[in-house]
Structure 1
Amino acid sequence: MAPLQPSQPLADVIGSKPLPRTEIIKKIWEYIKKNGLQDQKNKRMINADDKTKGLFGKKQISMFDLAKIVNDNVQK
């Protein structure tokens, strides 16, 4: 896969280095797990913290929204 340049909100979470889409998703999940952002009652939901609030655009997202958020925040 070709490396993609992350937008500034995404770079705040994963770093500014261009990465393939698979690595971007992997790094986001590492951040989510490291910071305990997965909702305890509904594991399919991800709670935003200060860094991810700008990326997500709201307090909570579904894990299924993550692919769309990545698509909206990368450039080829």
Structure 2
Amino acid sequence: MATIPTAGLFSNFLAGETASFSLRSHTMFARPPSTSRLVRIATFATVSQPPTGKQPRGIMRPRRVSPEMQALVGVPEISRTQALKQIWAYIKENNLQDPQNKKIIICDEKLKKIFAGKDQIGFLEVAGLISPHFLK
């Protein structure tokens, strides 16, 4: 079996005689001069385009609501997000949250019509219980 002479290579490395590790290794990681400035160039991909009059979709689109919901929100068409905001405003105005557990809503007569006749509901149930009141 032939042995590879590595003693010469290793001794040259320790002595610093290799050209590949001299100054080049230090300049690769050098910081740019402090006087350099980064310039940001605006491209078509980063510039936002103004809205082109698109109609809202999904939960942002106004839909017709049931008469019970209309009695609470006051309009015949409303988006789900706006309806939720108005329902929560009504709950806060009339102090309909349970004082010990704010996650529970105590329903008055208007809310009972919307929330399937329940006396109390959890705040996570609100979005699901208003779904039948949005007409297609």
TM-score, with length taken from structure 2: 0.53
Counterpart in 2 of 1:4? 63
Q: Which has the higher contact order (CA 8 A, sep 6+)?
A: 1
Which of 65, 72, 75 in structure 1 is aligned with 2:125?
65
Task: Give the length in aligned residue pairs.
Answer: 76
CA RMSD of aligned residues (A): 1.1
Which runs of structure 1 show a deviation greater than 3 angstroms over 4 or more consecutive aligned residues? none
Tell me the amino acid that sits aligned with residue 16 of structure 1: V
For structure 1, the 5+ residue unaligned runs are: none
Which of 30, 55, 62 in structure 1 is aligned with 2:114?
55
| Bigger radius of gyration among the two | 2
Tell me the amino acid that sits aligned with residue 18 of structure 1: E
SS of equivalent residue, structure 1 residue 65: helix
CA distances 1:7-50 after superposition (whole Å, capped 9, x unpaired) = 12211211133111110100000000000111111111111112
TM-score, with length taken from structure 1: 0.90
Aligned residue runs from structure 1 range 26-37, under 5 A: 26-37=85-96
CA distance in 2, matches of 1:12, 1:24: 12
Higher strand share: 1
Residue identity (%): 38
